[in-house]
Amino acid sequence: DTGVSQDPRHKITKRGQNVTFRCDPISEHNRLYWYRQTLGQGPEFLTYFQNEAQLEKSRLLSDRFSAERPKGSFSTLEIQRTEQGDSAMYLCASSPGTGRSEAFFGQGTRLTVV
């Protein structure tokens, strides 16, 4: 499977715990994005990487959120001290480094904070 893969697919955690999600983009794609999708809504942009550089962060990304993309390959999204409002689907997408082509999405990680 050469698509975007995300791990885990589902995560249930207690409020206050830290969680980390992983995204493996399509191998030749330089651009990587994280989005958050709550129930019944469209995805909302969180952050963007060009290779290993994090070039933009949304105001949605509070101080409890951090994302990395070491070596410009896979990426991780960590949420510290989770809150119930963090419950959502976290989607990762990647696209080629040139032009304005479409982004390809993974199947997402569904986070439930109890």
Site residues (vs another protein, CB under 8 A): 31, 33, 35, 40-45, 48, 50, 55-56, 89, 91, 93, 95, 100-108, 110
Query: Whose Cβ is closer to another protein: residue 19's or residue 32's?
Result: 32
Q: For residue 70, say if its preceding peptide bond is cis, omega within 30 degrees of 0.
A: no
Q: How many Cα atoms are found within 13 Å in the side-chain-facing hemisphere of 48?
A: 12
Query: Whose Cβ is closer to another protein: residue 1's or residue 14's?
Result: 1
**Cβ of residue 92: shortest distance to another protein, in angstroms?**
11
> What DSSP assignment string belongs to 58-78?
-TTS-TTEEEE-GGGS-EEEE
**Cβ of residue 81: shortest distance to another protein, in angstroms?**
26
Query: Whose Cβ is closer to another protein: residue 19's or residue 91's?
Result: 91
Query: Whose Cβ is closer to another protein: residue 37's or residue 80's?
Result: 37
Task: Report whether 2 contacts 103 (CB < 8 A).
Answer: no
